[in-house]
């Protein structure tokens, strides 16, 4: 059945073509499997909560009849601002305006949030630009630059809120503009498109502009809020949408609310958030977290920007999903929110998740795979400018293109272009890093997995690994480090060494053994081995396999690498942007023409040590790495790096 919605209809109707609904949520109350909700262009200031789900092969489809013509907003326009003092204007709203959720009394706070509890989930927007919150009326009046911002020139636009009896007062510094003559909005709804209940499967959302939600902080052992999301279900498609201006998260593929383990540390303080993440994984087994019930989402061709926690987030609920062809940028650039859940894409337990052909830039971190990146593949992604625009990256600051944290693998990172100051933070085991271009260093090699305590003890993080290609837990283990395969990459020292004192290349692995040296300690021919004799070996560094890489402009090679190319010549690598098109100009072709390497495939890579799982596709078929960044075919003796051919320039298009 076709159900019609048109905000511009003269009267509210019954959903027929002749008498369309005026509100999308009215259609969401009656749509069932096989129905298509056709939404006419217009502005829909509402929260859409689908009551029903679809069926496999027979989804419920919500479609904007004109691409990005239907706009669903969590904000309301304010036109009754009153002058207060200088450039500051004031509006007073009765608290009944907000119903049971007032963003101007709700703070951004929770597990893994490292900043002070001072920012509200509310926001003030002028012409689709977000103002900066301050904690005093004096700060609002001053309207000074916030040096933390990645766009400091815009940070002079401030807002402040306080309660006055039954009223919420909002003050904003418009720097000479009249807010009643501009499009000034405040967010009032917590979400824009998400079922209130879990298990609303097989819903497709196509072609909408979704914006301005007062979302809450979304840590892993918690209900994970988002402007739009499936809320712990299966088989959603979110495609061709523009998602922007969420206070915290844009698209949430994340966790349900477990009443016994929902931000446990924040509310009860007695156990660490790390422990409660382990508990969340185990409890998830009792709450339907299986391959049959959860995940399998498709998030594609979306434009996601200006969210202050993450563009896409997901703890456990994103398993078996594909995230492709998205353009994600300007995430956490205001620097108002500080925590461990901040990235363009931030996933926990990305089991068998494929992330490909995404363009991610100007984000605090590009892609962050935390815990259980087992069967995860990151391929053909274009990442750049995922670092502060000025100054060095301070030691410990989590700015990088790709971050894989406390995972046992297998994680495949191939054919990516990583041009930020830090290319990859690998505080994990079991990664296969193949045919990438990296202009920044690896960091956190051999570290980043444990936490030192004040009395000298070490809090060793042990995290789960799983039955192959499923969610059921197979075991837990701490981190020995190593177990990486690094083949056929190009490393170029573009940025110079920063305060992290990290050099680009693989020399950071010099203290790691080769397999043939490591295996000797285990006496495989001994029928009666001694457990105590091998105890040290069982907790020693795991081997690495590194070969076929190129090192330029001072990048340094692994000292046991048999086939590699190190050049002292000055290599050009410059990314140029013009009207949304990016060109990478380089003279690498002049120097690499004679250096060919072996074609890599699954059978050559062995298995990740802890889960004993191959570096293979989610359907358990072998991968032959014979497609480059563009999808072009590689021959049997390819060039290193992400491109099958050597050119003077490579074209990228902003998606």
Residue-wise pLDDT tens digits, 452-493? 999 989 889 999 999 999 999 999 999 999 999 999 999 999
Residue 393: pLDDT over 90 = no
Longest dimension (CA), the chain: 86
What is the average pLDDT across 9-36? 97
The answer to whether residues 611 and 409 touch, using CB atoms and an 8 Å cutoff, is: yes
Upstream peptide bond of 508 is cis (omega within 30 degrees of 0): no
The 10 Å CB-count burial string (b at 16+, else e) for 166-193 is eebbbbbbbeeeebeeeebbbbbbbbbb
What is the average pLDDT across 314-342? 96
Mean pLDDT of the chain: 95
* Residue 398: predicted pLDDT: 76
Q: What is the DSSP letter of 176?
A: T
Is residue 655 very low, low, confident or very high in pLDDT (cuts 50, 70, 90)?
very low
Is residue 499 very low, low, confident or very high in pLDDT (cuts 50, 70, 90)?
low
* Residue 502: predicted pLDDT: 78
Measuring CA to CA, how many Å separate 199 from each of 53, 55, 193, 194, 221?
8, 11, 15, 11, 19
Residue 160: pLDDT over 80 = yes
The answer to whether residues 444 and 508 touch, using CB atoms and an 8 Å cutoff, is: no
Residues with Cβ within 8 Å of 279's Cβ and at least 6 positions away in sequence, in order, are 221, 261, 264
N-terminal to C-terminal alpha carbon distance within the chain? 33
Nearest partner of 188 among 8, 330, 46, 63, judged by Cα: 46
* Residue 155: predicted pLDDT: 97
Is residue 579 very low, low, confident or very high in pLDDT (cuts 50, 70, 90)?
confident
Pairwise CA distance, residues 628 & 322, whole Å: 19
What is the average pLDDT across 189-196? 98
Residue-wise pLDDT tens digits, 24-68? 999 999 999 999 999 999 999 999 999 999 999 999 999 999 999
* Residue 500: predicted pLDDT: 55
What percentage of the chain carries pLDDT values higher than 90?
Answer: 88
Output the CA angle 124-163-186, nearest 5 degrees: 15
Between strands 124-126 and 129-130, the pairing is antiparallel
What is the average pLDDT across 177-190? 98
What is the average pLDDT across 499-511? 85
The answer to whether residues 202 and 143 touch, using CB atoms and an 8 Å cutoff, is: no
* Helix residue ranges per DSSP H, 287-395: none
Paired tokens of 389: 């625009």
Residue 498: pLDDT over 90 = no
* Residue 495: predicted pLDDT: 76
The answer to whether residues 597 and 638 touch, using CB atoms and an 8 Å cutoff, is: yes
What is the average pLDDT across 610-638? 97
The answer to whether residues 451 and 415 touch, using CB atoms and an 8 Å cutoff, is: no
Q: Of all helices (H) and strands (E), which one includes residue 26? A: helix 24-30
Pairwise CA distance, residues 556 & 277, whole Å: 37
Residue 450: pLDDT over 60 = yes
For the chain, domains (ranges, CATH) are 26-74+194-348 (2.160.20.10), 75-187 (2.60.40.1180), 350-655 (2.160.20.10)
Residue-wise pLDDT tens digits, 207-235? 999 999 999 999 999 999 999 999 999 99
Residue 388: pLDDT over 50 = yes
* Residue 534: predicted pLDDT: 87
Residue-wise pLDDT tens digits, 258-289? 999 889 999 999 999 999 999 999 999 999 99
What percentage of the chain carries pLDDT values higher than 70?
Answer: 98
């Amino acid at each position: 059945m076709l159900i019609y919605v048109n905000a511009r209809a003269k009267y509210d109707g019954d959903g027929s073509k002749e008498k369309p609904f005026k509100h999308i949520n009215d259609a969401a109350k009656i749509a069932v499997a096989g129905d298509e909700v056709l939404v006419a262009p217009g502005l829909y200031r509402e929260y859409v909560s689908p009551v029903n789900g679809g069926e496999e092969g027979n989804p419920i489809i919500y479609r904007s009849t004109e691409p990005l013509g239907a706009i669903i907003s969590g904000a309301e326009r304010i036109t009754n601002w009153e002058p207060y003092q200088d450039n500051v204007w004031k509006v007073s709203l009765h608290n009944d305006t907000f119903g049971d959720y007032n963003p101007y009394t709700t703070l951004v706070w929770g597990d893994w949030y490292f900043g002070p509890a001072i920012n509200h989930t509310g926001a003030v927007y002028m012409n689709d630009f977000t103002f900066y919150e301050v904690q005093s009326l004096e700060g609002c009046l001053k309207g000074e630059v916030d040096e933390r911002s990645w766009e400091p020139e815009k940070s002079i636009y401030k807002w402040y809120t306080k309660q006055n009896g039954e009223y919420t007062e909002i003050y904003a510094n418009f720097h000479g503009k009249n807010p009643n003559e501009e499009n000034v909005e405040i967010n009032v709804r917590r979400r824009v498109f998400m079922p209130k209940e879990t298990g609303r499967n097989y819903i497709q959302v196509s072609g909408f502009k979704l914006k301005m939600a007062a979302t809450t902080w979304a840590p892993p052992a918690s209900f994970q809020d988002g402007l739009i999301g499936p809320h712990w279900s299966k088989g959603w498609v979110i495609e061709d949408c523009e998602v922007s201006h969420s206070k915290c998260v844009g698209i949430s593929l994340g966790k349900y609310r477990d009443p016994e383990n929902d931000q446990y540390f924040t509310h009860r303080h007695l156990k660490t958030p790390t422990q409660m993440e382990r508990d969340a994984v185990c409890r998830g087994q009792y709450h339907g977290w299986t391959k049959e019930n959860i995940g399998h989402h498709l998030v594609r061709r979306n434009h996601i920007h200006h969210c202050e926690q993450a563009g896409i987030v997901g703890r456990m609920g994103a398993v078996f999903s594909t995230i492709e062809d998205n353009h994600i940028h300007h995430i956490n650039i205001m620097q108002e929110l500080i925590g461990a859940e901040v990235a363009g894409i931030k996933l926990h337990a990305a089991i068998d998740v494929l992330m490909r052909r995404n363009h991610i830039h100007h984000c605090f971190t590009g892609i962050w795979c935390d815990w259980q990146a087992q069967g995860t593949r990151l391929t053909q992604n274009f990442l750049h400018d995922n670092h502060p625009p000025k100054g060095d990256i301070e030691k410990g600051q989590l700015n990088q293109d790709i971050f894989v944290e406390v995972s046992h693998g297998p994680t495949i990172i191939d054919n990516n272009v990583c041009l930020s100051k830090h290319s990859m933070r690998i505080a994990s085991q079991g990664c296969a890093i193949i045919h990438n271009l990296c202009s920044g260093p690896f960091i956190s090699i051999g570290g980043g997995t444990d936490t030192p305590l004040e009395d000298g003890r070490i809090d060793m993080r042990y995290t789960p690994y799983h039955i192959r290609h499923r969610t059921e837990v197979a075991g837990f283990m701490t981190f020995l480090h190593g177990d990486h395969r690094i083949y056929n990459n190009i490393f170029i020292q573009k940025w110079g060494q920063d305060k992290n004192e990290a050099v680009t290349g693989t020399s950071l692995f010099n203290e790691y053994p080769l397999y043939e040296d490591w295996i000797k300690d285990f006496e495989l021919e001994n029928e009666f081995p001694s457990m105590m004799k091998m105890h040290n070996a069982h907790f020693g560094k795991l081997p690495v396999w590194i070969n076929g890489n190129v090192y330029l402009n001072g990048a340094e090679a692994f000292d046991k690498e048999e086939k590699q190319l190190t050049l002292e010549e000055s290599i050009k690598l410059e990314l140029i942007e013009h009207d949304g098109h990016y060109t990478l100009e380089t003279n690498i072709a002049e120097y690499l023409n004679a250096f060919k390497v072996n074609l890599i495939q699954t059978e050559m890579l062995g298995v990740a040590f802890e889960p004993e799982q191959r570096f293979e596709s989610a359907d358990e078929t072998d991968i032959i790495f014979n497609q480059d960044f563009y999808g072009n075919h590689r021959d049997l003796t390819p060039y290193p790096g992400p491109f099958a051919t050597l050119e003077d320039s490579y074209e990228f298009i902003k998606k």
